[in-house]
Structure 1
Amino acid sequence: MKKAFAVYALGVAALCVTGQASATTVVEGLAADGKIPSLSPMLKTVLPGVVNISVKGKKDVQGFAIPDEFRFMFPGMGDAFGSAPQKRDFQALGSGVIINAKDGLVVTNHHVVADATEIKVQLSDTREYEAKLVGSDPHTDLALLKLKNFKKLTQITLSDSDKLEVGDFAVAIGNPYGLGQTVTSGIISALGRSGLNIENIENFIQTDAAINSGNSGGALVNLKGELIGINTAIMAPSGGNIGIGFAIPSNMVKTVTEQLLKYGEVKRGMLGVQGTQLNADLAESFGYEENSGAFVNEVIKGSGADKAGIKSGDIITAINGKKITTFGQLRAEVATQRAGTKVKLTVFRDGKSLDIDVVLSDSSFGTTASKEETKQISPAFDGATLTNAKNGGVEVTDVAQGSMAARFGLRKGDIITGVNRSDVKTINDLKKSLEKVKGRISAIRINRNGGTLYITLK
C-alpha cells in the first residue's frame, strides 16, 4: 500500500488507441482507400504469439515455525502457530509470449509460475502443450518456459524499448480472468518508473491500460506488432483499474531471458554505489545544468565502482551511452548485466564529463550488503547496511533514519544469527533462509547488547 494505493502484480496492461488521419485523407471515418482504420491486420500476425498459461502446484500456507527457545511458551501447539505449515494445492492462470518459435521458448512473469509443479500453455488456435521451467528471476519478475513436443509456432519480435517515447501508441494482449485472448489499447504514459515496491528491480513502462487479473505475462506491443514490454502489474485503490498499469521493458526481458537460457539463473552484477535521485538544488550545488541523473552518495570499498575510480559526489549521467535520468534506472540497467561485465559510465565531476570503464562485481552478497542491496534480501531490511560478522552472523553496521529497516526494529550493532530455527552465519545464509520462507511470517533471531531477541517479519 502506498499513498492509499495498492500495487498489484496481477497482470496486464490494457490501453486505448483511436485511429488518426488528416482531414485530407479521411472522410466520415474512412481512409483514402475507403477502409476504416484498424489494428486488425497487425493483430492477425501477433495474436498467435501470445499464449494462455495455466499452472497447478503446491505452496506452504499458515503459520511459521516456533523457535526452540520459545517452545515452552506454546505447549501443545506443535511446530507452528495455529498448525504446522502445510502444502496446499493451488491453480492459477496467466499469459505468456513466444519469443523463439524454433526452440519453443515462452516468456512470462515469475509470479505466474512460482511454485508450479505443472505448467500448460494454450495457443490462440486452442492447441495445448506442456511446458517446463527453464529458469526464473523473482527480482525482475520474469520466467522462461520451454514447450514440449511443439509444432509450428509463431514468435513476436522484440523491439528496442530504449527508443520508446511517452505518447507512443501501445496494444496489450492477454488472458484476463481466464476469458481467453483479449486485446486492449492505449498509450505509453511514462517511462522508467521505479520505487513502486512491486519488484526488487524496477524500470517500468507505465500505460493507461485497463489492467485485469490473468493478463500477467502478456504482451505489450507497438503498432508494428513488436514486443515492447511484458505486462506485470497495476496500481489500484482496491483492486480495480484506475488506468495505471506497468510493463517490464523488452530490453530488460531480452537480457534476463538470455541469462536464464544460458545459465538457468541471473547472476547479476553490482556497481557498488549508494545514491539518490538528482534534483534541481543538488544539481545547482554541484554546477550541473541538468536535473536528471544519479547522484553518488557513497562508493562501497572494494567494489567495481571503487576500483574504477568512481567517487562520492559524482553524477552518473549515462551507461554505455544510454542517458540515465534516475537512480532507479541506473540500478535496473546494472542489475540486468552479468557479473564481470564491463560497462562504460559517463559521470559529471568538477565541471567536466568523464567516461569511466567499470567491471561489475558479483552481487551475491559476499561480505557486505549496502543500503542499495539489502532490499533484495527483504523489503524489511531496506535502509540497513549489513556485513558478515567476525564470529559468525550478520552485523547491522548502519540503519538509515526513518527507513523501513528502522521501522522494522533493526538497530546499528545488531547481529542477526538466525531465521526461525535455521542458523545464519553469513549474508548468503540470511538471503537463502528468507527465500525458503518467502510469503510466511518469520522470526529473525538477533543478538543485541549481549542478549537474544526475536523480531517478527511479516
Structure 2
Amino acid sequence: MKTKLSVLSAAMLAATLTMMPAVSQAAIPQSVEGQSIPSLAPMLERTTPAVVSVAVSGTHVSKQRVPDVFRYFFGPNAPQEQVQERPFRGLGSGVIIDADKGYIVTNNHVIDGADDIQVGLHDGREVKAKLIGTDSESDIALLQIEAKNLVAIKTSDSDELRVGDFAVAIGNPFGLGQTVTSGIVSALGRSGLGIEMLENFIQTDAAINSGNSGGALVNLKGELIGINTAIVAPNGGNVGIGFAIPANMVKNLIAQIAEHGEVRRGVLGIAGRDLDSQLAQGFGLDTQHGGFVNEVSAGSAAEKAGIKAGDIIVSVDGRAIKSFQELRAKVATMGAGAKVELGLIRDGDKKTVNVTLGEANQTTEKAAGAVHPMLQGASLENASKGVEITDVAQGSPAAMSGLQKGDLIVGINRTAVKDLKSLKELLKDQEGAVALKIVRGKSMLYLVLR
C-alpha cells in the first residue's frame, strides 16, 4: 500500500538518532580515546535547526443525505442533508527555506483543511503560521512565520543526484520529536505511483514514517535535496521505501507561490506516453528512456516551437528524462512563460528546440483561504459569468462571511469578476473591507469581507 505520510499519535518516547557509519567527506572525524571515527553530528548541528514541527487543528465536515423515510415523516421542511462536524488534530514537519521572510515549506496534505497552524522551532519556541499558498497537484504548501534568529537550509541542485548518493532524512515521525535517519538515494524520477497528480520522486531507503511529511531529505553537506512526502507501508511503518519531492521542483513551485500566492503552471501542449521497448524498437532507437509525443495541440507552445507528433523528448534543459510522466512533472512545475530547452529525437536524428511555456487555465481552487482569509472553507470554480461557490464548510470563515453553496461571485467592489484569475488579482491589492457582488438564485446582493 502506498500512503502519504499521515500523522499518527504515539506513546511518549525519546526521539532516536540513527547515524550512518560510512566514511565520507562530510562525516567529520571525532576523536575517541585517541582514535578518529566518522560522524554526521557537525553537519546536523548546522542543519537540524532549519527543520520544524507543524501542528494543525481544524474541523472535518461530512454531509449525508437524509433517508427518504425521515423526510416523509418530518414533511417538506425536513433537511435534505445531515451535516456532521468532527474536530481533528495532526502533526507533520516543515523546512525553513528563507530565514529573513520566515518562509517554511511543507506538504499540502499536512495543512489541508486546517483552521490553525502552529510551528514548533528547534529551540522550543512555538509560533503561529500563516498560509501563503498551496499546490495540491504536487503536494506543496508555503507557510510564513514571524520570528527572530531563524536558520534556513541551503538548497542543492537535485538534478545532480545519482543513485547511491547518501541521504539523510530529518523530521517529526509519530510526533516523537525531531529524528534523524540515514540511507541512500535508491532511485530517481519515480512516477506512476498514484500518490500525486505530478510525480517525479526521489526514492530513498532512509527510514521515513508517518509524521515525516514536509520534512527534509538532505545530502551529506546538509543541503536540501527533497521534501519527504510519501511511503510504501504495507503495515503502516517504514519498509525502506520512501519518496521525496526533488528540491528543484520545490524551488520552482515556491517561487511562484511566494510571488503570486499560487502556482501559475506552465503548459507545453502535448499528449504522449512513456517510450517503451516496443516503441523504441519500432523507431530503431537504442534508448528506452524519454517521452513519446502522440499529439501536439494547435496553437500550443509546443507547436510554436516546432515539436511534432512522433517526436521523442529525451531531455529538459540538458538533463535526461526517463519518462513522459517525468517530463510532465518538470514542465508543470515551471512557471508560465518559462523558457525551456528540450532535446528530442526525430526520424533518428537528435534535435534541440527552445520553448516558451504557455499558462494553464485554472478552473478550481480548493484552498480559497489563500485567496482571502475570509474565503477559507469555500471551494471555488470557474463559471460562465464569474466564480461559483461549489461548497462551504460549516463554521468556516467563508460561512461566517455569509457565503452559501451555489453563490456566484460576479464582482469585487465596482469591478467585474470574470474567473478565478481575475478574482485573485482583484483581491491581492485590496486592503480593508471588500464587497463581493453575489448572484444568489434570482437575487443580487453584496457581502462584505473584513
Q: TM-score, normalised by structure 1?
A: 0.73
* Partner of residue 270 from structure 1, selected from 253, 258, 267: 267
Q: 1:60 to 1:20 in 2, by over 3 A?
A: same
Q: 1:294 to 1:199 in 2, by over 3 A?
A: same
What is the match of residue 145 of structure 1?
A: 143
Segments of 4+ in structure 1 off by > 6 A? 29-33, 70-74, 422-426, 434-437
The Cα of 1:365 is off from its aligned counterpart by 5.8
Q: 1:359 to 1:74 in 2, by over 3 A?
A: farther
Q: 1:288 to 1:300 in 2, by over 3 A?
A: same
Unaligned runs of 5+ in 1: 367-375, 379-421, 438-458
- Aligned partners of 1:297 and 1:73: how far apart in 2? 54
Q: Are 1:6 and 2:9 matched, yes or no? A: no
- Aligned partners of 2:325 and 2:227: how far apart in 1? 19
Partners of 1:21 and 1:31 within 8 A in 2: no
- Aligned partners of 1:147 and 1:262: how far apart in 2? 17
CA deviations over 1:380-438 (Å, ceiling 9, x no partner): xxxxxxxxxxxxxxxxxxxxxxxxxxxxxxxxxxxxxxxxxx99967x989x859999x
RMSD (Å), alpha carbons: 3.3
CA deviations over 1:216-247 (Å, ceiling 9, x no partner): 11111111111111111101223222211001
- Aligned partners of 2:392 and 2:158: how far apart in 1? 31
Partners of 1:109 and 1:216 within 8 A in 2: yes
What is the match of residue 44 of structure 2?
A: 43
Partners of 1:42 and 1:223 within 8 A in 2: yes
* Partner of residue 112 from structure 1, selected from 110, 113, 130: 110
What is the match of residue 213 of structure 2?
A: 216
Unaligned runs of 5+ in 2: 9-16, 367-379, 395-450
The Cα of 1:214 is off from its aligned counterpart by 1.1
- Aligned partners of 2:270 and 2:119: how far apart in 1? 41
* Counterpart amino acid of residue 90 in structure 2: A
Partners of 1:54 and 1:120 within 8 A in 2: yes
Partners of 1:15 and 1:208 within 8 A in 2: no
* Counterpart amino acid of residue 173 in structure 1: I
Q: How does 1:106-255 map to 2 (within 5 A)?
A: 106-148=104-146, 150-255=147-252
Partners of 1:318 and 1:345 within 8 A in 2: yes
Partners of 2:2 and 2:230 within 8 A in 1: no
Q: 1:429 to 1:103 in 2, by over 3 A?
A: closer
Secondary structure of the equivalent of 2:184?
Answer: strand
CA deviations over 1:352-378 (Å, ceiling 9, x no partner): 112222222222268xxxxxxxxx999
* Counterpart amino acid of residue 92 in structure 2: G
- Aligned partners of 2:166 and 2:32: how far apart in 1? 19
Partners of 1:222 and 1:228 within 8 A in 2: yes
What is the match of residue 371 of structure 1?
A: none
- Aligned partners of 1:71 and 1:302: how far apart in 2? 51
- Aligned partners of 2:194 and 2:288: how far apart in 1? 24
The Cα of 1:87 is off from its aligned counterpart by 3.8
* Higher RCO by CA contacts (8 Å cutoff, separation 6 or greater): 1
What is the match of residue 54 of structure 1?
A: 55
- Aligned partners of 1:228 and 1:343: how far apart in 2? 22
Q: 1:302 to 1:179 in 2, by over 3 A?
A: same
Partners of 2:2 and 2:195 within 8 A in 1: no
- Aligned partners of 1:239 and 1:257: how far apart in 2? 30
The Cα of 1:257 is off from its aligned counterpart by 0.6
Q: Are 1:17 and 2:20 matched, yes or no? A: yes
Q: Say how many residue pairs are matched.
A: 365
- Aligned partners of 2:295 and 2:43: how far apart in 1? 49
What is the match of residue 79 of structure 1?
A: 80
Partners of 2:208 and 2:242 within 8 A in 1: yes
- Aligned partners of 2:90 and 2:121: how far apart in 1? 17
What is the match of residue 348 of structure 1?
A: 345
The Cα of 1:52 is off from its aligned counterpart by 0.9
The Cα of 1:95 is off from its aligned counterpart by 0.6
Q: TM-score, normalised by structure 2?
A: 0.74
The Cα of 1:253 is off from its aligned counterpart by 0.9
- Aligned partners of 2:135 and 2:265: how far apart in 1? 10
Secondary structure of the equivalent of 1:45?
Answer: helix
What percent identity do the matched residue pairs reach? 50
CA deviations over 1:178-202 (Å, ceiling 9, x no partner): 1111111111110000111111111
Q: 1:100 to 1:377 in 2, by over 3 A?
A: closer
* Counterpart amino acid of residue 53 in structure 2: N
Secondary structure of the equivalent of 2:39?
Answer: coil
Q: How does 1:318-329 map to 2 (within 5 A)?
A: 318-329=315-326
Secondary structure of the equivalent of 2:155?
Answer: coil
Q: Are 1:284 and 2:281 matched, yes or no? A: yes
- Aligned partners of 2:271 and 2:253: how far apart in 1? 23
Partners of 1:30 and 1:37 within 8 A in 2: no
Partners of 2:365 and 2:381 within 8 A in 1: no
* Counterpart amino acid of residue 117 in structure 1: D
Q: Are 1:364 and 2:373 matched, yes or no? A: no
- Aligned partners of 1:360 and 1:116: how far apart in 2? 33
